[in-house]
Amino acid sequence: MIRPRIVVTGGAGYIGAHVCHLLKARGFSVTVLDDLSTGVRKRVKQFEFVKLDLTMAPAEIIEQVLTGAVGVIHFAAVKRVDESVRDPLKYYSSNLVSLIRLLAAMRVCNVNAFVFSSSSSVYGEPRGPLVAEDSACFPVNPYGETKLVGEWLCQDASIAWGLRAVALRYFNVAGASCPMLGDLYSMTLVPRLVNLALANEPLIVNGTDYPTSDGTCARDYVHPEDVADAHLLTLERLLDGHDLEPAYNVGTGAGSSVLAVIQAAESVLGRPILTSYGPRRPGDPTAVVGDTSLIYEQLGWQPRYTLADIVSSAFAAHSYLRRIDNP
């Protein structure tokens, strides 16, 4: 039996690798396309792999990879908020040029099912306690701007030639479904906290004057296995011909402050974590928490993992990856 083939761009990355493994478990054939600028090859060593930079590869090479595929899940992007503020040209060039060239190749190859990795950063500074898909989008950093423009490109392609595209706006992804897939080197809060805590070095808490319960900014933390499940549900509905919304939130609907995440980590370690305090980072909104009722109502998706699960799995992944890197 020939299994339907899915191309996953950025599939050697942290979230992309989780999705690749779940695709395989659900009976799909997977081709991973990644330039390995941040991805890790051994995360996806059992999959067909093509090393390729979408911004520079000849169009015919991209088309060769897509030929015979039934769908694409697109993760390939640069994604550091602080870096995007310092170097917006890099973010616009990398994130949008790669998407434009990928969509053009999909059109040539008649591949019409497309799941786009978007972000809650499209919302910017929310106007209320929860952000729904119809909330106003005013990103406050170039990274979020590129994700919003990417969504517009997908919608325009849907109108122009019938691309069946859905953007998943996920919130702060952290933890790991298995240690090998852990996010060891990311500069986001949870992996940074884990690295510093185990090295007994202080975590700098950026901003203590936010209008939140403890003065630190709050985020909606979601486990990568839950995020991967949302991608699979979306892809399967697209392949089955269902009409879906252009975008869905993927989160837990609950916000956790920086200090709450630190407390969860202290519970895992059984000891206090060193901290110091600094000014706010440019481009950081106060709180971003998702209303996920739409994806639950239409796709039946809901998160299974708690903040405690997320933090404990992040520590387990860190310990494992450090051990195999330094035997």
Domain coordinates in residue numbering, the chain:
5-174+221-250, 179-219+253-325
Which position has the token pair 């917006």?
88
pLDDT value of residue 327: 46
Block mean pLDDT (10 aa), the chain, length 327: 87 96 95 94 94 96 97 94 91 96 98 97 86 94 96 97 97 90 80 90 94 93 97 97 96 95 94 94 85 97 96 87 59
* pLDDT for 128: 79
- DSSP classification of residue 280: P
Q: What is the CATH number of domain 179-219+253-325?
A: 3.90.25.10
Whole-number pLDDT of residue 285: 81
The pLDDT of residue 324:
56
Residues belonging to the active site: 143
Task: Select from 80, 151, 124, 133 the least CA-distant residue to 293.
Answer: 133
β pairing state of 221-222 and 172-173: parallel
Q: With left for phi above 0 and alpha for psi between -120 and 50, is residue 2 left, alpha or beta?
A: beta
The amino acid present at 295, given as its one-letter code, is I
> Which CATH fold topology does 5-174+221-250 show?
Rossmann fold (3.40.50)
pLDDT at 326: 52
* Separation of alpha carbons 194 and 123, rounded Å: 28
